[in-house]
A and B are shown apart, each in its own frame.
Chain A
Amino acid sequence: DGGITQSPKYLFRKEGQNVTLSCEQNLNHDAMYWYRQDPGQGLRLIYYSQIVNDFQKGDIAEGYSVSREKKESFPLTVTSAQKNPTAFYLCASSIGHSTYEQYFGPGTRLTVT
């Protein structure tokens, strides 16, 4: 089955710890994205990658970091510098960074206490 997987589904961390969220796709898509969703708010773009070894900041990149060493994988690290890390994190991919549809993984709910 082709698709996007994210793990884990739920993640709990103590304040001050870095945490890495996994995102893998087997759709052979070039572009991958990380969004954050908070209650009552739209999806906000954190980082995106158009191609392997390249990534760009989105609207709210502060306190986050990413890597794109393989086409299939785009992990997101939430660092201790992120002031409000508790949120629903969604990874998406697209054929290319253009007018194409984006498809989402099931998401990771991160709770930091």
Chain B
Amino acid sequence: RKEVEQDPGPFNVPEGATVAFNCTYSNSASQSFFWYRQDCRKEPKLLMSVYSSGNEDGRFTAQLNRASQYISLLIRDSKLSDSATYLCAVWGRILTGGGNKLTFGTGTQLKVEL
């Protein structure tokens, strides 16, 4: 099982739709969680950190479910400009060795259409 898993998509949605992505992680001791946005052939940009109580930034809402070991990202009223790949990242102990690291999912591709 991968340490961090995402549905690769693509998710094709009409403009104005609400779309949600999930990301599951295998290490129950993971400590912090993030969502990044990556445009084609660009670097990942931090979208938001995910807090235990959930957090919202404009049209974006992130939630953490520790019991089921997943984080989610909800995008409301999606715009054409939201089209990108969304990566989740989980900070925790490296399962097969010492130390800690940030582990990234492979990303979910979102295409917002007219």
Binding site for B on A (CB under 8 A): 33, 40-43, 45, 48, 56, 58-59, 88, 90, 97-107, 109
Contacts and interface: CB of A to CB of B under 8 A. Distances in A.
A90 B101 contact: no
Contacts of A107: 42-43
A58 B106 CA distance: 18
B91 A43 contact: no
B105 A42 contact: yes
Interface residues of B, number: 24
B42 A106 contact: yes
Given A90-B44, A106-B42, A107-B42, A101 B106 contact: no
11 contacts: A42-B4, A42-B106, A42-B107, A43-B87, A43-B104, A99-B31, A101-B49, A102-B46, A104-B44, A105-B43, A106-B42
Interface string B73-106: 0000000000000010101000000011111111
A58 B107 CA distance: 21
Contacts of B42: 106-107
B65 interface: no
B106 A41 contact: yes
Contacts of A58: 101
B106 A104 contact: no
Interface in B16-58: 31-32, 34, 41-46, 49
A98 B100 contact: yes
A42 B104 contact: yes
A48 B101 contact: yes
A63 to B, nearest CB: 19
Nearest to B99: A56
